[in-house]
């Protein structure tokens, strides 16, 4: 077979057959394998006279090399085409709309807690934690509410046994912290957390709620600082032009005790449905730490004094964001949560 003829035949096969890497290998075996035309020619060589052998040998080698080159080139071409196909299949279509990334959002109660924490950390407060299953001792007795005290009735709670209960107030952390600090270290803490009370569950009451407790104890803190602190908090939470007012109240663990109102942010004090016509909205209870509490918790009331306050996170959230049913705060309705991204 002549060189040109062989090349022509191979190219014809390349054009006529549906080639892939597999069929190419088969075709290669056909031309270059043991039963192929080139091998055949080599076999024929032994029948030739010796002087013709080199001439034919040269020719056959040229054929072999030419065929090998053709096959190698085709193989490379097919492999490249395969890679290209793969690449174009895997290509990203940047004109397609992207997938929706569903980000979570903070729960409004946590948002309130974080906001209050931020504010108080900025004023040098520490954030403290306490157990929700609390001892009667910390929840009541150290807070000047001995067993049988009538003030317990307002804070009936869920008892685990006679001495352990679901804490009815984060005020329990006041006693814990003062005892921990040992009676000679200044205290400046806030404590956000759950509290529980036996209560009707309706639009404004829940047996489980969230309080943020504040406590400052040192040698010279006064009610003026309490007022200043709560004014800053009211402005931060409800707007810069808010004012607060104190009304006398009663808590066994503070003396004097006060209830704190903030000027209505809806009507700016004129009177509306939110503030029930009074221009003021009650937001929290507070007072100067009762001497009995100080001394029971290891602080000498002749040297130390303190203030404390307790505010409901639900109340803040409901007022601030116009939420009209406390139960919706526990319902895990994403439509509510998503509004607080
Ligand atoms: N613990 C009180 C309550 O739950 C609130 C309070 C806290 C009052 C601290 C005074 C000082 O009603």
Q: For residue 146, how many other CB atoms are within 10 A of its CB?
A: 13
Q: Which atom of ligand 1 is nearest to the CA of 310?
A: 7
Q: Which residue has the higher pLDDT, 129 or 43?
A: 129
Confidence class for position 6, pLDDT limits 50, 70, 90: confident
- Residues with CB under 6 Å of ligand 1 are 169, 171, 213, 251, 254, 285-287, 308-310
pLDDT at 246: 95
> What does the pLDDT look like over 265-313, one tens digit per residue?
889 889 998 889 999 999 999 999 999 999 999 999 999 999 999 999 9
Please choose from 199, 251, 254, 305 the residue to mutate so as to test ligand 1's pocket, defined by most ligand atoms within 8 A of CB.
251
Please choose from 139, 171, 174 the residue to mutate so as to test ligand 1's pocket, defined by most ligand atoms within 8 A of CB.
171
Contact predicate 107/340, CB 8 Å:
yes
Q: Which atom of ligand 1 is nearest to the CA of 168?
A: 4
Q: Does residue 77 register a pLDDT over 70?
A: yes
Largest separation between any pair of C-alpha atoms in the chain: 132
Q: Does residue 340 register a pLDDT over 80?
A: yes
Confidence class for position 1, pLDDT limits 50, 70, 90: low
202 alpha carbon, distance to own chain's centre: 30
Give me ligand 1 centre to Cα 239, in Å.
24
Contact predicate 231/123, CB 8 Å:
no
Give me ligand 1 centre to Cα 140, in Å.
12
* pTM > 0.75: yes or no: no
Give me ligand 1 centre to Cα 29, in Å.
93
Q: Which atom of ligand 1 is nearest to the CA of 311?
A: 5
Length of the chain: 341
Please choose from 166, 285, 292 the residue to mutate so as to test ligand 1's pocket, defined by most ligand atoms within 8 A of CB.
285
Contact predicate 330/209, CB 8 Å:
no
Q: Which atom of ligand 1 is nearest to the CA of 285?
A: 8
Give me ligand 1 centre to Cα 285, in Å.
5
Contact predicate 336/325, CB 8 Å:
no
pLDDT at 55: 83
Q: Which atom of ligand 1 is nearest to the CA of 215?
A: 9
> What does the pLDDT look like over 194-217, one tens digit per residue?
999 998 888 889 999 999 999 999
Write the CA distances from 314 to 25, 127, 137, 263, 281, integer angstroms.
Answer: 77, 19, 26, 18, 14
Pair type for strands 244-251 and 254-263: antiparallel
Give me ligand 1 centre to Cα 181, in Å.
21
Residues 232, 181: Cα–Cα separation, whole Å:
27
User: Ligand 1 atom 6: the closest Cα is on which residue?
Assistant: 310
**Percentage above 90 pLDDT, the chain:** 64
Q: Which residue has the higher pLDDT, 134 or 60?
A: 134
User: Ligand 1 atom 4: the closest Cα is on which residue?
Assistant: 169
> What does the pLDDT look like over 152-170, one tens digit per residue?
999 999 999 999 999 999 9
pLDDT at 104: 86
Give me ligand 1 centre to Cα 54, in Å.
113
Q: Does residue 325 register a pLDDT over 70?
A: yes
Q: Does residue 107 register a pLDDT over 90?
A: yes
User: Ligand 1 atom 10: the closest Cα is on which residue?
Assistant: 286
Mean pLDDT of the chain: 92
Contact predicate 314/210, CB 8 Å:
yes
pLDDT at 139: 98
Mean of pLDDT values over 220-246: 95
User: Ligand 1 atom 12: the closest Cα is on which residue?
Assistant: 285
Contact predicate 130/192, CB 8 Å:
no
Give me ligand 1 centre to Cα 286, in Å.
6
User: Ligand 1 atom 7: the closest Cα is on which residue?
Assistant: 310
pLDDT at 152: 95
Contact predicate 283/259, CB 8 Å:
no
Please choose from 128, 309, 310, 315 the residue to mutate so as to test ligand 1's pocket, defined by most ligand atoms within 8 A of CB.
310
């Amino acid at each position: 077979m002549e060189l040109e003829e062989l090349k022509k035949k191979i190219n014809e096969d390349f054009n006529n057959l549906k080639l892939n890497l597999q069929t190419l290998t088969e075709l290669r075996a056909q031309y270059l394998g043991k039963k192929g035309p080139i091998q055949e020619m080599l076999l024929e060589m032994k029948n030739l006279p010796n002087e013709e052998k080199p001439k034919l040998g040269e020719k056959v080698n040229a054929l072999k090399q030419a065929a090998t080159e053709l096959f190698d080139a085709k193989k490379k071409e097919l492999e490249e085409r395969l890679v290209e196909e793969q690449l174009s299949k895997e290509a990203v279509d940047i004109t397609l709309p992207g997938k929706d990334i569903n980000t979570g959002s903070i729960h409004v109660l946590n948002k309130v807690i974080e906001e209050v924490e931020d504010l108080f950390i900025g004023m040098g407060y520490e954030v403290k934690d306490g157990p929700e299953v609390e001892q009667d001792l910390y929840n009541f007795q150290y807070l000047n509410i001995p067993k049988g005290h009538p003030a317990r009735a307002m804070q009936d709670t869920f008892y685990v046994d006679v001495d352990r209960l679901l804490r009815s107030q984060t005020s329990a952390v006041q006693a814990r912290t003062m005892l921990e600090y040992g009676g000679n270290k200044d205290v400046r803490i806030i404590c956000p957390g759950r509290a529980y009370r036996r209560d009707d569950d309706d639009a404004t009451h829940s047996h489980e709620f969230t309080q943020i407790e504040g406590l400052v104890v040192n040698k010279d803190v006064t009610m003026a600082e309490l007022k200043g602190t709560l004014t800053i908090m009211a402005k931060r939470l409800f707007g810069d032009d808010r004012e607060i007012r104190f009304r006398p109240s009663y808590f066994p663990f503070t003396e004097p005790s006060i209830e704190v109102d903030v000027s209505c942010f809806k009507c700016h004090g004129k009177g509306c449905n939110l503030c029930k016509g009074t221009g003021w909205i009650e937001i929290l209870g507070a007072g100067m730490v009762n001497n009995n509490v100080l001394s029971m918790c290891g602080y000498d009331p002749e040297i130390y004094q303190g203030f404390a306050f307790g505010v409901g996170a639900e109340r803040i959230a409901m007022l601030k964001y116009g939420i009209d049913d406390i139960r919706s705060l526990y319902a895990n309705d994403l439509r509510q949560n998503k509004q607080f991204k």
